[in-house]
Each structure stands twice: as structure tokens, then as C-alpha cells.
Amino acid sequence: MFRKVLEDSKREVSGKNAKEYVSEIIKFHRIQVTEGYNKAASLCKKIFEENGIETEILEYDSDGKKMYLGFLSPEGWSIKKGILRIDDKEYANFEKESISVIQRSIPFKGEVDLIYAEKEEDFKKGYLVFTHDFKKGKDFARNYGCLGIVTDENRSKFDAPDSLQYLSFWGEKLFGFVISPREGEKLEKELKKGKKKTYVEIESSFFPSKMKIVSAKIEGEKDEEIILISHLCHPKPGGNDNASGVGLSLEIARVLKKFKKPKRGIRILLVPEVHGTAAFISENRNFLCGLNLDMVGENQFLCNSPLLIEKTPDATPFFGNYLLQEILEEVKKEVSNFQNTFKYPLFMSSVTPFSGGSDHWILSDPTVGVPTPMLIHWPDKFYHTSFDTIDKVDEKELKRVGVIATTYLYFIANMGKKEAEWLARLVTQRAKQRILESSDIDYTVEIEKKNLDSIKRMENIDVENLKKEIEDLSNFERKNIKVKEKKIKKGIIPKRKFIGPISLSKTLLEMPLNEKKKFTEKMEKYKDFKGTLELAVFWADGNRNIYEISKNVKNEIGKVNTDFLIWYFEFLEKHDLIDIER
């Protein structure tokens, strides 16, 4: 049903164009609410308009105080200079390497003593501290009156020991620098012999400002819209994260403009990640669905990074998950075997449950109700490092993802009754497969019926007969499975207080160190279950108790720890972020 759109997309989408856009975007240091970000936004607006696409830049107050959907807006930040010298050797220079300064550092100029801190008691008032652990280090530095920190923290230290990690302060009034793991290893040895005289010069400032969002529109026949979203922020270069998503969005928009006007409009948003989406959605929630492009250009063999479809959470059922999977299956038919009896891909890919961590987190929240899957490459050896450069961006991969995204967007935007009925059959086929593999048939049937209902947001078709097919199969399967009836225990009933995901940034920033240490220890103890928390919150609608929520989370991703969920909901209640009925 989408074959013609797929073939048109293959013909029109240019990975070369997209990579050229990426190469222009990475020239800017795109930290949220900064001049570099604003210049990149202006460039993107210009490119949209050159391709005949109606575009505007939306502005939202951003001053470190104003909240959007529970997210604290960042202050504007400017930096002109950032230098770290130890024993006359230059370890960091913002002008040479933007990531060498911890972003949002406060201004400072002068000579200070640098010491090494291996444990909490090593953090001393009035010193600059070298630490391997940025997250704990900044908290200890704030609490004990340290001037700032130097760190070699790096998730890629074994793959890229000479790279620098992108790190940022979010409200902590400190300054800091990033050095490579290789330099950090040498510096630790030197500092164990004694403190070092160090020269620091950071010329920076904070001020009330505006968050800017680039909003472009492909016009449709109806007054309905779907969203294509990519975050424009991140430090220079930020090639795959996320100049790739933005560059590809620009190319997709160019192609969509050439297609016949669809029934529904397509809104393309380039945002400061999460904060910009929260601000936009606080005023605009009347969208049918969306797609998030984040880290979509990886050279898979350099980055060791497969392409993923990340689905919407089960709490926000959506037909688009299955549509994306179907399109991916077609795109994977790249080459044939010797006798042309089978086709297969030359790239890695997978389909995963919801995980969050990008702008689809906000849109797919059931209280927002704009179901938005994501296309992403994960993991990536060079993620959030100075090595996320243009040579890691592959124009062939940009084309693959561009074809998938363009086909998905245009098919949904132009969907009529015939397409909706085909899609309903596809959802039913996938639903039956999921039921056959399910360990909880009742849960699966409930979700799959809602997946069918989600099509009716687009076209008001009758899906009752298809629901009956799902029920008939589930009844047959129940006869073949000995179901042990379990009485659901009574328990706390959490209920959300706000629209959108729960942000802990302000809460943790204001929390006393001892309490924050307990929070961190708990999260570390249950780190394998951290991904269950957002999914649990999505189900907290005031109708389900903690055991029902726990059961749903386990059905969705295969694991849960109910005691951990109870602790988390009680933590949220303590900080007035959720209500609990007992």
C-alpha cells in the first residue's frame, strides 16, 4: 500500500544533500539558549525558505525560572574564552575545542590550586578539583565549597581515549573543564604527588533570554497536522547528535514539498532538546502523531551502531509502530543472493520498546497524547564526544533513514479510508503474532485493540470485526494455556498531577547532599530497572494500583521491581510531583 510512496522517496531523498546540510550545521556551537544555537536556527530557516517552505522561528521566555510542563527553562549563556593551564601546559581552550569547557560554566579568572579527589572527603573548600566522576563530583564540589572541577569522565574512554566528553552544568554555579582519559591518567599520577598551581580564565555570562524553535510547515488539505521533530542543540561538532537529524529533516522537507499536497499538514520542528518541546507543547497539543529523528546518520561500522525503531509506550498505543516496522522490512531488501531467491540488508537494525531520552519522551506521554516513535542509532562509540565529527556521518545511512521517514510521514499525512483499512489489517496481523508470543494474553489484547482504535484518529473506519478476530484468537490461545488466576493485591494508587513527563532536574538541584546521595545510591542499586520508572509513571492515571502498574510494565519490557516502583512513587509524592491514594 505504501510501495509507490516508498519508491518515490527512494528516487527523491538525497543522502548527499542531507550530509551537506549536516556539514553546515556542525560549524555552530549549538548549546541551548546561546548565540551559536540561534545562528544555526537562522541557517535552518533560510534553507527551508530556499526550498519554498513556510517557516518561522518561535520564541519562548527562558530565564532559569520559568517552567514549561514541569521543566525548568535554561538561562541564556554566553562564553568568549575558556582556558586551563597546569604548569604552563594548556589542557583546555574553548576557542580550539568547544567541548573542553564544561558547558554553562560560570566566569572565573585567576590562579588556583588543583587537587585530586578520589573520594568525597578529598573535596576541599577553595580548591579546583580533578575527579573522574563528573556527576558525583559536581555535587560534592557544590556542597564543600570547591571553586570548580576538572574531569576526564568519558563513556568512550576505551574506544576513543583522546576524545573529550560533552558535559554541562544545569543550574550548578560552578566552572569546569574536560580533558581526555589519556591526559587524565597522567594528571592523576602527577596530582598524587601534590597539588598543582593552575591558571583558569573563563569569560562567560548568564542572562534572561529566549528559547528558539524553528517551525516549518508542509501544507495539507485539512486543518490537521503530524509532527517531524529533531533537536538542533548540542555542542560543536555534534555531527550525528544531532546535526544528522536536523540535516535529514531539512532534506525530507525538501522532498515532501515536491510531492502532491497531502490531506494533512506536516509540521517540522527543530528544537532545544526536551526544553523546547516542553515549551512548544505547553501551548500546542492538537497534533495527530509524530516522528522523532535523533542520531540518524551513523556510519554503522565506524560507530558500531545499529539503526533502531523505538516504539511508543504501550500506555500510548499507536498504529505507527507497526507501519514503521513494515517500511523498514521493505528497505532492508537491499541486495539478493546469487540466484536472486532472497533479499537482505547491508546494515544492522532492530525494533525496541520505548526507552525515552529524547523529544519523543514528551510527545508520547499519554497526558500529551501525540504518539511519536523515534528513529535512532544506538549505541554509538562517539556519542557526546569531540569525535562526533562529519567523517562519522554516512550519506548512505542518511538516505536509508530518510526513505523510511519520508514514506512514513507522507503515508500517514495522505491516508484515506482505503489506506486506513489496509493499515487496520496490518495491525491485526501483527497483533495476532504478538498474542501468540504473549505471556499475558489479556494485557496484549487490550493494547492491540487500542492500537486499532488509534487508526480512527486519522480515518473513522469500523474496526470492530478486526477486534473480534483478535478476541477469537486470544480465546483459542487461552484454552491451550493453563492460566493461573492471580488475585491482584491492593496497594497504593498513584495519580499524576501535571501534563507531560516528570522532570527531576529542579528537585535534585535543590536537594540537600545527604538526601541526594541516598537517591543516587538507590538508583545505582536498581540501575537495571531505571528504564521502568517512566513507563510506570505513564500508567499512573489514578485508576491502577501499584501492582497493576507493575504488571503492565513487566508485560511491556519483560522486567520490573515492584519495591523499587513503590519507593519511586513515594519519592515523587514527597516532592509534590504526584498524588497517592492509600
pLDDT at 79: 99
CA–CA separation, 300 vs 389, rounded Å?
Answer: 14
Pair 223, 360 in one domain? yes
Same domain, 261 and 315: yes
Residue 170: is its pLDDT beyond 90?
yes
pLDDT at 466 over 70: yes
Q: What is the CATH number of the domain that holds 181?
A: 3.50.30.30
- For residue 255, pLDDT beyond 80: yes
Contacts of 479 (CB under 8 A, 6+ apart): none
CA–CA gap between residue 245 and residue 397 (Å, rounded)? 12
Asked if residue 198 belongs to a domain, the reply is yes
Q: Which residues of 48-64 are buried (b: 16+ CB within 10 A; e: fewer)?
A: beebebebeebebebbb
Sign of CA dihedral 102, 108, 114, 115: negative
H-run or E-run covering 430: helix 417-437
Considering 207, 223, 238, which residue would you say is the last residue of a domain? 207
Share of the chain above pLDDT 70, in %: 98
Q: Does some domain include residue 39?
A: yes
Query: Do 85 and 46 sit in the same domain of this protein?
Result: no
For 307-354, write each residue's pLDDT tens digit: 999 999 999 999 999 999 999 999 999 999 999 999 999 999 999 999
pLDDT confidence bin for 477, thresholds 50/70/90 = confident
**Taking 70 as the threshold, does the pLDDT of residue 231 lie above it?**
yes
Q: Each residue of 100-123: b (16+ CB within 10 Å) or e?
A: bbbbbbbebeeebebbbbeeeeeb
pLDDT band at 481 (very low <50, low <70, confident <90, very high): low
Max CA distance (Å), the chain: 78
Asked whether the predicted pLDDT for residue 488 surpasses 80, the reply is: no
Residues with Cβ within 8 Å of residue 540, at least 6 apart in sequence: 494, 495, 496, 549, 569, 578
226 forms beta bridges with 266
Do 240 and 387 lie in a common domain? yes
Residue 482: pLDDT over 80: no
User: What sections of 340-416 are H helices per DSSP?
Assistant: 360-363, 395-413
Look at residue 17 in the predicted model and tell me its pLDDT: 99
Helix (H) or strand (E) holding 321, with range, is helix 320-331
Specify whether 459 is located in the same domain as 514.
no
Residue 5: CA atoms inside 13 Å, Cβ hemisphere, count?
A: 23
Whether 479 has a pLDDT exceeding 90, the answer reads no
Question: How much is the pLDDT for 533?
Answer: 98
> Residue 486: what pLDDT?
52
- Give dist(CA 130, CA 60) in Å, integer: 37
Q: Are 461 and 353 in contact (CB under 8 A)?
A: no
Q: What is the number of other CB atoms lying within 10 angstroms of the CB of residue 213? A: 22
* Average confidence score pLDDT of the chain: 97
What pLDDT shows up at residue 478? 79
Structural domain total, the chain: 4
**Domain range for residue 335?**
7-73+211-413
Among residues 253, 220, 185, 193, which one has the least CA distance to residue 48?
A: 253
Percent of the chain with pLDDT over 90: 97
Alpha-carbon separation of residue 541 from 170, 245, 485, 538, 572 (angstroms): 30, 33, 25, 8, 14
pLDDT in tens, 123-133: 999 999 999 99
Amino acid at 497: K
d(CA 105, CA 83): 12
Q: What is the pLDDT of residue 567?
A: 98
* Together in a domain, 537 and 554: yes
Cα–Cα distance, 216 to 252 (Å, whole number): 12
Q: Is residue 192 part of a domain?
A: yes
Distance of CA 242 to the CA centre of its chain: 10
Q: Evaluate whether residue 487 is within a structural domain.
A: no
The cell 555570562 sits on which residue?
205
Question: Does 137 score more than 80 pLDDT?
Answer: yes
Angstrom distances, CA of residue 260 to CA of 227, 234, 282, 444 = 18, 34, 32, 38
Pick the closest to residue 553 from 353, 396, 401 (CA basis). 353
pLDDT tens per residue across span 34-84:
999 999 999 999 999 999 999 999 999 999 999 999 999 999 999 999 999
**Which pLDDT band holds residue 487 (cuts at 50, 70, 90)?**
low
In a domain? residue 439: yes
DSSP string covering 482-544: -----PPPP--EEEE-SSSPPP-HHHHHHS-HHHHHHHHHHHHHTGGGTTHHHHHHHT-BSSS
Please enumerate in sequence order all residues whose Cβ is within 8 A of that of 202, keeping only pairs 6 or more positions apart, or say none.
Answer: 79, 81, 82, 83, 94, 101, 105, 106, 107, 108, 109, 175
pLDDT, mean of residues 189-202: 98
Alpha carbon distance 395, 248 (integer Å): 10
- Residues with Cβ < 8 Å from 196, sequence gap 6 or more? 86, 87, 113, 114, 190
Which residue's entry shows cell 505507527? 320
Residue 329's CATH number: 3.40.630.10
Q: What is the pLDDT of residue 491?
A: 86
Of the two residues 239 and 479, the one the predictor is more confident about is: 239
Nine cell digits for residue 424: 487496520
Q: Are residue 158 and residue 228 in the same domain, yes or no? A: no
pTM, entire model? 0.97
pLDDT band of residue 489 (cuts 50, 70, 90) is low
Cis before 242 (ω within 30):
yes
Are 228 and 341 within one domain? yes
Whether 423 is covered by a domain: the verdict is: yes
Per-residue confidence at 480, pLDDT binned at 50, 70, 90?
confident
What is d(CA 138, CA 146) in angstroms, rounded to the nearest whole number?
9
Among the candidates 413, 428, 455, a domain finishes at 413
State whether 392 and 255 are in the same domain: yes
CA nearest neighbour of 393 among 246, 272, 180, 227: 246
Residue 565 has pLDDT above 70, yes or no: yes
Three-state DSSP at 104 gives coil
Spatial neighbors of 220 by CB under 8 A, at least 6 apart, are: 261, 262, 263, 264, 265, 266, 413
Which amino acid is it at 42? S
Closest CA to 270 of 305, 307, 244: 244
Which residue stretches of 14-119 are H helix?
15-25, 35-50
In a domain, 553, yes or no: yes
Q: State residue 337's pLDDT score.
A: 96
> How far is Cα 428 from Cα 434, in angstroms, rounded to an integer?
10
Phi, psi of 11 (to 5 degrees): -75, -35
pLDDT in tens, 350-384: 999 999 999 999 999 999 999 999 999 999 999 99
CA distance 28 to 35: 9
309 inside domain: yes
* Same-domain status, 451 and 508: no
- Beta bridge partner(s), residue 108: 202
DSSP string over 230-274: EE--BSS--IIIIIHHHHHHHHHHHHHHHSPPPSSEEEEEEESTT
**Helix (H) and strand (E) counts for the chain?**
19, 21
Which of residues 166, 182, 207 is at a domain's end? 207
- Same structural domain for residues 260 and 347? yes
136 and 14 co-located in one domain: no
H or E element in which residue 200 lies: strand 196-207
- What is the structure's pLDDT at 360? 99
